[in-house]
Amino acid sequence: MADGEARATMPARAGALVAVRRIAGRALPRGPLDLVWQLLLIAAAYYGWRYARGAVDGGLAESFAHASDLVAIERDTGTLIEADVQRWALDLGWPAELARWMYANAHFKGSCAALLFIYFFRPGSYRFVRNMVVCGMAISLLGYALYPTAPPRFLPELGLDGGTSVTGNSPLLTSPGDPLFNPFAAVPSMHVGLALMFGCSLALLVQVRAVQALLLAYPLLITYVVVATGNHFWLDALFGAMAAALAAGAALTLARLRPDWAFGGGRTKTGEAEHRGAVQPHAGEASEAVA
């Protein structure tokens, strides 16, 4: 009797195993090792970027001189708006709190969430976006090294509130012993740069127009956030947008060398990316290699 019951449960177990494998194949079409590899790549790129950014920390005199140059440009063009934007936000209250919270949380956590969403639900475009983000970080290092700039909250003549409760950032000019700290990494603003990269990418990958509109508006919201908190001039945001454009161009160049790195072109053997509705304007051949 026991043998009969065991034989009866075997098909059910086999069916459950097949179902689990099918779900795992859809969630991880390149296998679990690829997920681990991608996590390691992103972590290495991020911390390498942070350490490099800290290593190119510019001097006080040079950084404040560059900030004064930006002030002069904005004043001459009648666009020195940072103090006015922050004053408006502080007078109303909630816009300042929203800006502070988003500056402290949306940048890193939002970027991680966007990468994970693309990896699991739009895998055909993941490698293009990954390459674009890494290229953007590399481009930003050139700005930090060649043009170290103090943020507007460090310039008392502008009348900005530099407190942590407003800026969502450290009020310190220096932090000895912290290799990840660089208070003068203002040009370009990668808050805005990454917001553009992810916002535009996701807007192309979703089908709901209302969601697309929100995603396209997200970089504008982040531009408000970095200005209202006093962490960036609006010119820094413009330079961040330029860095994002250069990074997209670099990712397109890489995609010409590797078709499976094209936006929507990284099909897997199982075709799960196409099945889940990933945008594939330039679909390439399947690639077996982990990259």
> In three state form, how does the secondary structure of 125-177 look?
HHHHHHHHHHHHHHHHHHHHHHCCECCHHHCHHHCCCCCHHHHCCCCCCCCCC
Q: How far apart are CA 185 and CA 168, in angstroms?
A: 15
**Other Cβ atoms closer than 10 A to 109:** 10
Q: CB-based burial of residue 13 (10 Å sphere; 0-12 exposed, 13-18 middle, 19+ buried)?
A: exposed
Q: Which domain holds residue 99?
A: 32-275
Same domain, 24 and 151: no
Enumerate residues 6+ apart whose C-beta is below 8 A from 168.
99, 100, 101, 102, 103, 104, 229, 231
Q: Looking at the DSSP assignment, which residues form a beta bridge with residue 149?
A: 185
| Amino acid (1-letter code) at residue 272 | E
Same domain, 125 and 97: yes
Same domain, 48 and 176: yes
Q: How far apart are the first and last CA of the chain?
A: 53
Same domain, 79 and 218: yes
Q: Which pLDDT tens digit goes with each residue over 230-265?
A: 999 999 999 999 999 999 999 999 999 999 999 987
Same domain, 132 and 250: yes
CATH of the domain at 87: 1.20.144
Give me the phi and psi of 149, to 5 degrees please.
Answer: -140, 130
Q: Which pLDDT tens digit goes with each residue over 109-133?
A: 999 999 999 999 999 999 999 999 9
- Strand, helix or coil at 49? helix
Q: Shortest CA distance to 70 belongs to which of 145, 151, 146?
A: 151
Same domain, 93 and 216: yes
Q: Give me the number of domains the chain comprises.
A: 2
Indicate whether 291 belongs to any domain.
no
Q: How far apart are CA 281 and CA 262, in angstroms?
A: 9
Q: How far apart are CA 272 and CA 278, in angstroms?
A: 9
Q: Looking at the DSSP assignment, which residues form a beta bridge with residue 185?
A: 149
Same domain, 93 and 141: yes
Indicate whether 92 belongs to any domain.
yes
pLDDT in tens, the chain (291 residues): 555 555 555 555 655 555 445 655 566 778 889 999 999 999 999 999 999 998 887 788 999 999 999 999 999 999 999 999 999 999 999 999 999 999 989 999 999 999 999 999 999 999 999 999 999 999 999 999 999 999 999 999 999 987 777 877 766 666 656 788 888 999 999 999 999 999 999 999 999 999 999 999 999 999 999 999 999 999 999 999 999 999 999 999 999 999 999 998 754 444 444 444 444 444 333 343 456
Q: CB-based burial of residue 237 (10 Å sphere; 0-12 exposed, 13-18 middle, 19+ buried)?
A: buried
**Which letter does DSSP use for residue 117 in this model?**
H
Residue with tokens 């917001």: 195
Query: Sign of dihedral through CA atoms 115, 120, 125, 131?
Result: positive
Same domain, 75 and 2: no
Same domain, 139 and 117: yes
Same domain, 65 and 181: yes
Contact in structure between 166 and 97 (CB atoms under 8 Å): no
